[in-house]
Amino acid sequence: MSNGQLSELSKTLRERAETSIGQLREAVAHYKNVCYANSLGLESIVLTDLIWTAVPQIEIFSIDTGRLYPETYELMGRLQEHYGRALRIYYPETPQLEGWVAENGINGFREGLEQRRSCCSIRKVEPFRRAIFGHDAWVTGIRRDQSPSRGFASPVEWDGEYGLHKISPLLDWSKKEITDYIAKKALPYNSLHDKGFPSIGCAPCTHAVPSGEDERSGRWGWERAESRECGLHPQRQVHALAVSRH
């Protein structure tokens, strides 16, 4: 991204964007094969813009679980039109998914935590593992204030679960900075955000929440708050690192 593209932003936003771009470039310099798991939420819009305009060496992919909102597919199309690039989309393995549905029913993920996690595992985690295979680091759009478990995250961590580094360049951005960036640059975003959805995942498992509530409360509303992670960011021990040390 040239300085001209950033100059339309406020000083604070410009500095945020420059810091994030610096982290992304540093990640590419150190880890070479870096990918971005694009969840198509508001943070993803900012990261997609930063990556496709400033650090295009990073491969962007999304996972189509088969249960997304129609508005999310609309957004995929609008992003591709806006940037003139195609998102790489990964899908669940058909035999696994067919077996799970046969055993648990089409909406069996509502029957308990085990069923919900096994559905997420087949529809999200397995395609994610395939997508990151061969990469040295993956980028996430998590922010500290999204949930108590994310408050302790570090910009660079060794992700022992998946065996690669995890880069989180938006950790210190506030929600308002994310939305200001999108508004200022007139970027496409999911229209459900204007209908009370702070976080958008699969249609049966995401709902609108009253303004000001914890963002993750819109996911799996029938579960306890501490279990509301999809498996891609489970609450596990990770080791904080500085990029320059590797």
What are the catalytic residues? 230
Which two tokens mark 50? 């930063």
Interface pick for ligand SF4 out of 169, 188, 198, 201 (rule CB under 6 A):
201
Q: Which positions from 84 to 123 touch ligand SF4 by CB under 6 A, shown as an x/- string?
A: -------------------------x------x--xx--x
Q: Is the dihedral of CA 222, 119, 233, 90 positive or negative?
A: negative
Packing angle, helices 113-120 and 94-104, rounded to 10: 160
Told to check if 218 binds ligand SF4 by CB under 6 A, we report: no
Which CB sits closer to ligand SF4, 31 or 90? 90
Which CB sits closer to ligand SF4, 109 or 181? 109
Told to check if 124 binds ligand SF4 by CB under 6 A, we report: yes
What's 48's DSSP letter? H
Q: What's at 66, amino acid-wise?
A: G
- Return the residue matching tokens 């249960």: 67
Of all residues in the shown chain, the one whose CB is closest to ligand SF4 is: 202
Among the candidate windows 141-149, 174-182, 198-206, 232-240, which touches ligand SF4 by CB under 6 A? 198-206
Among the candidate windows 51-59, 141-149, 202-210, 236-244, which touches ligand SF4 by CB under 6 A? 202-210
Told to check if 150 binds ligand SF4 by CB under 6 A, we report: no
Minimum distance between the CB of residue 97 and ligand SF4, rounded to whole angstroms?
10
Query: Could you tell me if residue 40 is left (phi over 0), alpha (psi between -120 and 50 degrees) or otherwise beta?
Result: left
Which two tokens mark 117? 């996690």
Interface pick for ligand SF4 out of 34, 205, 232, 243 (rule CB under 6 A):
205
In the chain, which ranges are continuous DSSP H helix?
A: 3-6, 11-31, 42-54, 70-83, 94-104, 113-120, 126-132, 175-184
Decide the pairing of beta strands 34-37 and 88-90.
unpaired
Where do contacts with ligand SF4 occur on this chain (CB under 6 A)? 65, 67, 109, 116, 119-120, 123-124, 201-202, 204-205
